[in-house]
Chains A and B, each alone.
Chain A
Amino acid sequence: GQNIDQPTEMTATEGAIVQINCTYQTSGFNGLFWYQQHAGEAPTFLSYNVLDGLEEKGRFSSFLSRSKGYSYLLLKELQMKDSASYLCASMDSNYQLIWGAGTKLIIKP
């Protein structure tokens, strides 16, 4: 079967670092996506990993291990505006996205 697992909710402090994990099991694999969704808004694309390793993009980094079926999103120097849901999605052999339920990140002052 196809499955994406990520924590339901996480809490972190402004200025700190947080790591959101995602494990996936899909029919074929063509890459791993992270999206950010603020309440009442559209999900927006954050990152795409298809090769093993870490991709850094400003305060956000995304890591992929294909052999372990594992990814994480790392957010540094947290700001209040980072409070949002973070959606993990794996792209299967048909280039369709299999989505996790999302991780709601709460940032406290």
Chain B
Amino acid sequence: ETGVTQTPRHLVMGMTNKKSLKCEQHLGHNAMYWYKQSAKKPLELMFVYNFKEQTENNSVPSRFSPECPNSSHLFLHLHTLQPEDSALYLCASSHLDGSGANVLTFGAGSRLTVL
């Protein structure tokens, strides 16, 4: 365990379903992230929350909706997804203080398959 826990680890959903991914960190970090990881592609940053405020939204389609109720929890709500959204979704956290190294601690990911 890395200190960042993601559930579920595996999810299969149809294009009309609504589901949510959950992430929880117990590291006292102030920033949390959602990344998409597809085979043989670089990690794609989707959302960043810093002190519960969303600071980055890299043109992610509206069918992905993040929620950060507090600095320890992060959700990714999914609805009307497309097959090309099938990927590993990684959550990460870090302590952002503007001093330099922004070391991310990742969860093990949620493997999503859209049928």
Contact = CB atoms under 8 A, between A and B. Distances in A.
Interface of A: 4, 8, 30-31, 33, 40-45, 48, 50, 87, 89, 91, 95-102
Given A31-B101, A48-B103, A91-B102, A101 B2 contact: no
B42 A40 contact: no
B43 A42 contact: no
| Binding site secondary structure of chain B | loop
Nearest to A6: B42
Contacts, number: 53
Interface residues of B, number: 22
B105 A45 contact: yes
B61 interface: no
B106 interface: yes
Contact of B106 (A42, A100, A102): A42
Given A8-B40, A101-B40, A30 B108 contact: no
A99 B71 CA distance: 25
A103 to B, nearest CB: 11
Given A48-B103, A95-B102, A100-B42, 15 more contacts: A4-B42, A31-B100, A33-B101, A40-B108, A43-B106, A44-B106, A50-B101, A87-B43, A89-B43, A96-B45, A98-B42, A99-B42, A99-B43, A101-B40, A102-B40
